[in-house]
Amino acid sequence: MRLLGICFLVLSVGASITLLIDVDPMRETCTGLRDEAVIGLVLNIFTFLSGACCMYLFGTFLTVALSALTTVSLSRLTLFVHSAKEICAKHVAKAPVGDLLKDAAVYDRATVVSWIALVFFALGVLVMHIKSSCIDLFDGSDCDDDKSRRHYKKTRTSDCDEPSPKGVTWVRIPVR
């Protein structure tokens, strides 16, 4: 499962790179869009590095914090790309011909790629949190077979089922 999570995170980083190329990192118009794309890519790469290969170096807290920041950043980026024509309305006239502000194909591709980056990142993070002992595609094992969780299977008895101690009797008091 860890390998599947890493594949999802790599696909998310690849989609973020593709989006940055569509946004054009050297653009002079609507620099907020460029900045959002760069921040999303940088956070995506840092989260991948901290979670996939360097967890012992960064620690769990930093990886979780980076993951939360990346989720927020990629979510903002999808909304920014979707509303880029409205947000950057004053820059549409100055934008070059192949820019996403003028070209509908580039705009549509950037919108889809921004959503792909967010979805693959979310899938990667979720799959990385699933223990490999819970789901194994080859032997069909389940989390119930996990030896470390056997203490959860114990049957508990209620206190009412136990016999009362000697000398103690219960008296019912009627309620009016």
The domain segmentation of the chain, as residue ranges, is 2-128
Interval 38-60: pLDDT, tens: 999 999 999 988 877 777 776 78
Confidence of residue 81 (pLDDT cuts 50, 70, 90): very high
CB atoms within 10 A of CB 126: 11
The mean-pLDDT minimum among 48-62, 78-92, 148-162 falls in 148-162
pLDDT at 161: 55
User: How many alpha carbons fall within 13 Å on the CB side of residue 41?
Assistant: 18
pLDDT at 174: 80
In the predicted structure, residue 73 carries a pLDDT above the cut 50: yes
* SS3 (DSSP) at 137: coil
What pTM was estimated for this model as a whole? 0.71
